[in-house]
Structure 1
Amino acid sequence: MKQSNPHQTSSAKSESSSRWDKALSALSLAGLAVLIFLGGSIVTVSEIFPGPQIMRAYQAGMALYNQRTQYQDVYGGDIWYPERRSDKGVTVYRPGQAQDGLTLYVSASDPAVRLIDMNGNMVHEWRRPFSTFWKPSADGVARPRPDEFVYIRTAKLFPNGDLLAVYEGNGDTPYGYGVVKLDRNSRVIWSYFGRAHHDLDVAPDGKIYVLTHEFVDDELKGAGHLKPPRLDDFLVVLSSDGEELRKIPLLQSIAKSRYRQLLYTVSSFAVADPLHANAVDFIDRKKAKNFAFGKAGQVLLSFRELNAITVLDPETSEITWATRGPWIGQHDPDILPNGTILLFDNYGNYRGPEGGSRVIEFDPRTMAIRWQYAGTAKDPLNSLIRSDQQRLPNGNTLITESDGGRIVEVTPQGEIAWEFVNPVRGGPDGKMIPIIAWSQRVDLSGFDASFRQAWRRSGPSQMRAVE
């Protein structure tokens, strides 16, 4: 009969016990990891220290990661797009049908504002890279993006050739970089680094109304879903020489108004940037004459994430009127002399065969659409972000289709009277087109004689086009 070896039995029991101990240890560690994960999640969601700090560090890390992975190539951001057509420059010009004048426009390809004639010839140019005048400041840009990522978003031209320009940094958050005033020779007169973005307007008394934004950590009473840190918008009033006179927190103005319920329409993906203000239009006496919802001295504002436009009184910081309408993600509402409002409706055409965008003129008293242009199947209008429009003296409408790098002038009947396609191309295959961030038709007679004389000195070919 075979006898068992006590040493082997003991060894087997020891190995079995060791395996069991390891299994228990592994289970214990896994359980501890689950508890730590659940505890960390609860702390973070419940905003118990150090949950908020962990969340902010995570958000900052993700922003930095996205910048370094998605915005290292300037063509990979949202200021260059694949060209839709190979056309360059003026492609349509119908004299007698188009509104004669000069066109001021901004291309994201370089830090310049260009003034061209009806044939696309360059009349004047202002050029100033952000890095050449940037200075670190307490409320400004600590580390600006390389110059190829920094572009001019909009501009304001004065009769003597001076120019205000708003700079933005593509791939940065906050992306507002500031305002600079240049003379006709692109020399810096003054600069303001208060994170200005999108738009500005100048009142008859010379005061400048500009949008700024910054991260805030304040809780917003009655809107707990808009948790800090948030990117909040402000309306800043500057003197004519760039001194900050007043700064109005726009989110707080809405929260204190009778229109506070608009804040509950913010979608979940926009709670960190709940307003996204994108336009400011000063209401002067001419605009106020037939506009039923605003007075001279107030401003019309556009908030993309609320799909709303509002009137704000800068003296009281009060939102006096607000409305939503048949538009989505709108830009650039303009009060017309008859009291209607013209705006670029980025998404309201629901991707019809003629494109996803349209320009509408509506009556704010009845909300009825008086006029619209949505492009055609042959010439679609499609710009998901940015874009603007301008009603011209002859009744035509000048439209900036930013994503397409195109400016188009259409008649009230929707016929194209003038068209300009950005002539700049780039990218590995040379088929990427930069956005046209903004444009405006200007009247030659509105400029000082000294500024017009500067064009005469710049060359006879340019002057033949504008005289």
Structure 2
Amino acid sequence: MPQRSYLYLAWAFAPGLASCGETEPPDLPNPSSSSGADPSPDPEWSLGDAPIIAPQVQVHPQVATVLEVTWTQTTASERTWLEYSFEDDEWHLSPARAGHVGPHREAVLGVPADTQVQIRIVMETAGVYRRTGDATAATGSLPRGMPRPRVVEYFPGLASHERYLLGSVDGMEPYGHPYDGPFWLYVVDRRGRVVWYYSDLGSGATMAFPRVAPAGTHVVVEKRMFGAGQYAPRLLEIALDGSYSREIPVPGLDDSFDLTDWGTVLFNTWSRDGEAALREQGPDGTSRIIWDCRRWAGPLGILHQSHCYSNTVAWNRADDTVTMSMPYINTAVEVDRVSGELVGQYGDAPYSYGFDPDSWSFEFNHYVNITPDGTLLVSSHMPGHGPTEIPGDHAFVEFTIDRDQERLVERWAYHGRPEWAMYKGMAMRLANGNTLANYGTGGVIREITPDKRTAWEIVWDVEHDKPHVKRMVGHNVLVDDLYALSQGPVQ
């Protein structure tokens, strides 16, 4: 654990701050608003002594890319916030908060490791702004052993507006097994720089499916043992600024989960000699079986327990259904969350929907999900290839669901690239129409336009004699406001 580093600052006050008036302070750039507060205006400044004592900046003890600013305010203001800059004269703002008398704490987020940052504190009451001068501090170094990605391409005009990517990556040694870990959660910016991270190196827990809580207030990820070890499965809720974390036991959680808007957890269970089901756990810890895979599989002649393993639990908010993906039988199901009734069955299993064209099939499918348009999006090997390593023959495919004719009609397909997703892999439709896709063990994350151009691509490399083998990447989510993910659950 890194040592807590304190910077006791002789915080400089900008020229002119010691006297009242409406003169514009010299050489103070107007920041761009990016985090919730309006920037303090350059014209018509009314400046007096900033009512602050004992300002300090420290590197967060667990996350070296996060700076903590603390101060004591001696006079109340309507609002107070931080302004900070670390490159290109671009200024960022923390959220505006009530400027009460007493101690304050705010985090500086979105800054890469080993980076100098200029920071100032701003207070505002009735249009009168008081601002300290700039203090300079630096973020710490990333932990030894944490992987770093590289950016291959980035075209801002093609990419979605979000500035950051949340995800998970394995930290395996060269030629190791990707599930051996350790696993790292990360947030990177569009330049591929890590600006936040988390790992639990001592537990050996698998953390491959980070999600943003439905309210957008924090990150949630599973912590479990690969191969049904002795680590009791649970969910970790965590705020990016370190102000909140909580672990929630989820007995039976196997591989994937999702969260509903009303606070329940949807997850799959699977064991070699026990239950294989879709469950829903309430805030009080009680759970119910929504859908029992064994009862479905038996009459179809699917008798091996591993056939009920699912790598996906994805809630479809619009229809209140849940998709699950069984890669060992090349099949996915869509289940009504309330009744547990089967809404749709897609793939190889008997009585599944057909394909149009009929040359399509699922092959070791991953992250089968329903898009906002009601289509089905899947990460899959190309038809006939199964688990055999054939770089270039992995696809991300979107189908229109023809429920009347019980057919999946091809709408969009992306394939032919050199990557290969042996394990993991996902595709998610973005609000701007692009698709965020990753190749799992192929280590490539790509934002793809509807006409199949690359808007952004990053790669997580690892030493290996097979060029298509990289670090395994887990679930990805694009995010734009890191302060929103620092709130913690809203009661």
Which bracket does the TM-score occupy, shorter chain normalised? 0.5 to 0.7
The residue number in structure 2 matching 1:107 is 169
The answer to whether the 8 A contact 1:347-1:384 is kept is no
Matched, 1:126 2:198: yes
Match for 2:383: what amino acid? G
The answer to whether the 8 A contact 2:211-2:477 is kept is no
* In 1, Cα distance between equivalents of 2:464 and 2:420: 21
The residue number in structure 2 matching 1:165 is 221
The CA deviation at 1:188 is: 4.3
* In 1, Cα distance between equivalents of 2:154 and 2:248: 38
The residue number in structure 1 matching 2:484 is 448
* In 1, Cα distance between equivalents of 2:452 and 2:232: 37
Match for 1:309: what amino acid? A
Matched, 1:421 2:454: no
Q: Label 1:119 to 1:177 Cα distance change in 2 as closer, same or farther (>3 A).
A: farther
* In 2, Cα distance between equivalents of 1:320 and 1:272: 22
Indicate the SS of the match to 1:273. helix
The residue number in structure 2 matching 1:281 is 314
Q: Label 1:249 to 1:204 Cα distance change in 2 as closer, same or farther (>3 A).
A: closer
- Cα displacement string for residues 405-426 of structure 1 (whole angstroms, at most 9, x for unaligned residues): 1111111222211111115x46
The answer to whether the 8 A contact 1:389-1:398 is kept is yes
* In 2, Cα distance between equivalents of 1:199 and 1:316: 21
* In 2, Cα distance between equivalents of 1:278 and 1:93: 30
The CA deviation at 1:113 is: 1.2
Q: Label 1:432 to 1:336 Cα distance change in 2 as closer, same or farther (>3 A).
A: closer
Matched, 1:93 2:126: no
Higher relative helix content: 1
The CA deviation at 1:435 is: 0.7
The answer to whether the 8 A contact 1:331-1:346 is kept is no
Q: Label 1:245 to 1:418 Cα distance change in 2 as closer, same or farther (>3 A).
A: same
Matched, 1:318 2:341: yes
2:209 counterpart (154, 177, 192): 154
Match for 1:279: what amino acid? T
* Equivalent runs, 1:20-419 vs 2, <5 Å: 88-101=149-162, 102-109=164-171, 110-129=182-201, 131=203, 147=204, 150-158=205-213, 161-170=217-226, 172-173=227-228, 178-184=233-239, 185=242, 188-216=245-273, 232-240=275-283, 243-248=285-290, 250-255=292-297, 260-261=299-300, 263-264=301-302, 271-285=304-318, 296-324=319-347, 325=355, 326-348=361-383, 350=385, 355-365=392-402, 366-376=407-417, 380-419=418-457
Match for 1:332: what amino acid? Y
The CA deviation at 1:210 is: 1.1
* Percent of residue pairs bearing the same amino acid type: 19
Indicate the SS of the match to 1:345. strand
Q: Label 1:449 to 1:355 Cα distance change in 2 as closer, same or farther (>3 A).
A: closer
Match for 2:367: what amino acid? D
The CA deviation at 1:130 is: 6.3
The CA deviation at 1:240 is: 3.7
Q: Label 1:97 to 1:160 Cα distance change in 2 as closer, same or farther (>3 A).
A: closer
Q: Label 1:349 to 1:442 Cα distance change in 2 as closer, same or farther (>3 A).
A: farther
* In 1, Cα distance between equivalents of 2:371 and 2:469: 35
Which structure ranks higher in relative contact order (CA pairs < 8 Å, sequence separation ≥ 6)? 1
The answer to whether the 8 A contact 1:211-1:233 is kept is yes
Instruction: Specify the structure having the higher radius of gyration (Cα).
Output: 1
Match for 2:282: what amino acid? S
The CA deviation at 1:343 is: 0.7
Indicate the SS of the match to 1:200. strand
The CA deviation at 1:97 is: 0.9
Q: Which runs of 5+ in 1 are unaligned?
A: 1-85, 132-146, 217-230, 286-295, 453-467
Q: Label 1:284 to 1:160 Cα distance change in 2 as closer, same or farther (>3 A).
A: closer
The CA deviation at 1:336 is: 1.6
Query: How large is the Cα RMSD of the aligned pairs?
Result: 3.4
* In 1, Cα distance between equivalents of 2:202 and 2:340: 32
Q: Label 1:160 to 1:236 Cα distance change in 2 as closer, same or farther (>3 A).
A: same
* In 2, Cα distance between equivalents of 1:164 and 1:450: 12
The answer to whether the 8 A contact 2:439-2:445 is kept is yes
* In 1, Cα distance between equivalents of 2:390 and 2:327: 24
Match for 2:327: what amino acid? R
The CA deviation at 1:96 is: 0.6
* In 1, Cα distance between equivalents of 2:225 and 2:485: 35
- Cα displacement string for residues 418-446 of structure 1 (whole angstroms, at most 9, x for unaligned residues): 111115x4689xx984211221222338x
Indicate the SS of the match to 1:274. helix
The CA deviation at 1:355 is: 1.2
* In 2, Cα distance between equivalents of 1:349 and 1:92: 31
* In 2, Cα distance between equivalents of 1:358 and 1:411: 15
The CA deviation at 1:388 is: 0.7
Q: Which runs of 5+ in 2 are unaligned?
A: 1-146, 172-181, 348-354, 356-360
Indicate the SS of the match to 1:444. coil
The answer to whether the 8 A contact 1:106-1:152 is kept is yes
* In 1, Cα distance between equivalents of 2:345 and 2:393: 25
The CA deviation at 1:370 is: 0.6
* In 2, Cα distance between equivalents of 1:273 and 1:186: 40
The CA deviation at 1:175 is: 9.6
Indicate the SS of the match to 1:95. coil
* In 2, Cα distance between equivalents of 1:175 and 1:331: 26
Count of residues in Structure 1 that have an aligned counterpart in Structure 2: 309
